[in-house]
Chains A and B, each alone.
Chain A
Amino acid sequence: MEHAIPKRLKRYGFLTDIRRNPVSYLLVLPALLYTIIYGYLTLPYMVIAFQKFNYTKGIFNSEWVGWKNFEFFFNSTAASMVTWNTIKLNVLSIFFGTVVALAFAILLNEIRSKLFKRISQSTVLFPYFLSWIIVSYIVYSFFGTEHGLINNFIERLGGEPHNWYADPKPWTWILVGLSVWKEVGMSAIIYLAAITSIDDSLYEAAKMDGANRWQQIKSITIPMLMPTVSILTLLAIGKIFYSDFGMFYAIIGDNGLLYSTTDVIDTYTYRTLRTSGSPAIAMAIGMYQSIVGFILVLSANWIVKKVNKDSAMF
């Protein structure tokens, strides 16, 4: 029996597989075509990072300029600024997002009323359903200079209204706060699922030894959640070079006064392509992002594999 199978495998070519499963291959075809177009046929366009790209000449006839586009970007002050902002905002969002979601999941798990538990879990999921544009309206109604709620409040207390949309400093924290606010319900669901799967006998044993709720959380729940936490964190770190364009462009948009703390690689690439109209430089920045991003994903996955083999992506 063991000898027969490898022999059959060898002669089993790709075309034979298609002939034997025509329906399955037909069913996968639309998604495959889509992926080939958007995931693979896009790759050749990356060469324009090395060209003085001209729309009318196309990628075949544009002039080659070597590393000039990269030099242009890396010699500008923007390069270090957008890289630093991207990493800084992501690290802070990952850290606070994890801590808040974890705290919320643990506390919610301690609630005894089923109804209250369900309602609060649903409620914190609400921001997840809003678009970033709607969120930008909310931000505006809080931080708006003339009519915003916060300035309103400051004035009532007799203070001077602050021009929030002209002061870059607080925006690091506003953006981190917003990303935590919007995503926390989603992460909390995952942590709650992980808490539910913890063996009840551990808590029973702890109670027998006289452990109170707080001691049980500290010595059982948190340590048991650590594998999930570390894996989700590592996977998030793999994506640290990318930002949510929708969030940044909806809330900050083209407000240059705030760029020093809020401009990230994605928004900078977008403006290089659309506003300054230089696709070649935009492509050079995009390539920098893709390659560093790829290395980060591979490294994150490598570490995940060391921690827990089953949780690795590949």
Chain B
Amino acid sequence: MNIRIDLFQSVNTIFITLFALACTLPMLLVLVVSFTDEQTIMQNGYSFFPEQFSLEAYKSVFSSNGQLLQSYSISIFVTFVGTLAAVVMTGMAGYALANRQVRYRNRLALIFFITMLFNAGLVPWYMINDLLGIKDNIYALIIPSLLFSPFNLFLVKNFMQELPESLLESARIDGANDAYIAFRIVFPLSLPVLATIALFYGLGYWNNWFNAIMLIDSENLYPLQYLLYKLQSEINMINQMQGIAASNITAPTESFKMAIAIITIGPIVFLYPFLQRFIIKGLIVGAVKG
């Protein structure tokens, strides 16, 4: 009996280990290629075990023109400002919808909810941004699509509804107004759910390139993900960044692209061990209280 259970455990452990490897090894390949000598890539192709390692790609990245640095600052700025604004906006609205004193809260919630079921689609979205002048400027990377999600609103609202009403009631009896209750009591108590939506918003902003492909033309506004897209789809982009003629074949190109990809996910890899805990906790809270 014991032997059988142990067999089950070990087969299971092996199986799960393989699965976990399948989720991480592909990214490791990109990492290894970024450190592979360009000549080795040309001769042997991509490999987990290259014959010749090289730092050329990274040297080339750091001596390239300012585009990478520019895109990095755009992405950081947009992620920071966008996430902050989005969390504040969602948290505030969540408070109003969870506030039992507001009699029309369910009808207000309906206004948000309907947009989850029916939306006009790409063309009107594009037209309204055009109308508001949200085009080829920094606002185009912050405002459309990402600034507010009804899904996150309902996650926050459900969490705030579960806070003990007696707590808020006693504050009201002590003469606290709505603003005090919202900012001093409800928001601090809702930090777990606010952190979770901050993570969703932040990841959304960092990984977004849809707004850029639809609304951005100027190169100095390219966020990182869009720069990566351009590097993949337009060969000239690499030469332009390296500041060399297209005929120069000794400059690293394959490893150069992969090095930029690695540099782009840097912040995520460093923050990921902390972030994933929030996701797991937040989702479980959402699922249980859903």
Contact = CB atoms under 8 A, between A and B. Distances in A.
Interface of A: 9, 12, 14, 17, 20-25, 27-28, 30-32, 34-46, 48, 104, 107-108, 110-112, 116, 119-134, 136-138, 140-142, 144, 146-149, 151-152, 155, 181, 185-186, 189-190, 193-194, 197, 212-214, 245-246, 249-250, 253-254, 266, 269-270, 273-274, 279, 282-283, 286-287, 289-290, 293-294, 297-298, 311, 314
Contacts, number: 263
B124 interface: yes
Interface string B50-79: 000000000000000000000000000000
A23 B123 contact: no
A253 B233 contact: yes
Nearest to A194: B287
B121 to A, nearest CB: 3
B229 A147 contact: no
Contacts of A286: 120-124
Given A31-B153, A45-B127, A138-B27, A24 B265 contact: no
A31 B283 contact: no
B177 A190 contact: no
A138 B95 contact: no
B216 interface: no
A68 B30 CA distance: 48
DSSP class of B's interface residues: helix, strand, loop or mixed? helix
Given A124-B20, A141-B30, A193 B124 contact: no
B215 to A, nearest CB: 11
Interface in B205-262: 206-210, 213-214, 225, 228-229, 232-233, 254, 257-258, 261
B276 A141 contact: no
Contact of B95 (A24, A152, A290): A24
Interface residues of B, number: 98
Given A133-B209, A273-B123, A294-B118, A31 B112 contact: yes
A46 B125 CA distance: 10
